[in-house]
Amino acid sequence: MLASPIISVIYQHGRFTAEMTRQTAGALQFYAIGLVSYAVLKVLTPAFYAIGKRNTPMVVSFLAIGANLFLNWLFTFRLGWGHRGLAFSTSIVATMNFLLLYGLMRRHTRRLETRQTLIGLSKICLAGVLLALVCWVANYWWLDAWPDLRFFQKLGALLVAIACSATAFFGAAFLLRVSEVQDIIEVFRSRFRRAL
């Protein structure tokens, strides 16, 4: 939700215009849809090599390439989404790739603690909804005069928005007892105790 302000602060200088920022932000938003799948694939794919199923990720990759070609054609040329279509098809294919590999891994290992994973993911999604709400408020409250601000004003306003969003997300995740956040806090507590 903060794609345009972030791209603007980083790139919108000199020849990089506001229209270029808008176009780049559009691609970033569609790529963001597949971020979770990209991250999980980095863990899941090597796991097949660890259990001796080296051909499985390769076969799934070939299927993903075929799906990617079709979706690129559909979104870019048929529906006319341009570069946004390429980003969206990449995200969809990454998600399909993850779901297929996850299903195959579950079949091989018989147990992947799917229930616990879904519970944790649900909690993270709830925290993410709060984060999105804070970003939405930021866009329509203190970032609404964005075109009229100078660079350091933009940077300051953006950092405040990011800090508030991150605080809301981690605060909600902590209250919902997301185990990863609890682990991070415990690490900081132990280091703080050692420093004392």
Digit-by-digit pLDDT tens for the chain (196 residues) are 788 888 888 888 888 888 898 899 988 989 998 888 988 888 888 888 888 888 888 899 899 999 999 999 999 888 888 889 999 999 999 999 999 998 888 888 777 777 888 888 899 889 999 999 998 888 887 777 777 788 888 888 889 989 999 999 999 988 888 888 888 888 888 887 777 6
Give the pTM: 0.77
**CA 126 to each of CA 5, 39, 120, 182, 185: distance values in angstroms, whole numbers, following the listed order:** 24, 19, 10, 16, 19
Burial class of residue 85, CB neighbours in 10 A (0-12, 13-18, 19+): buried
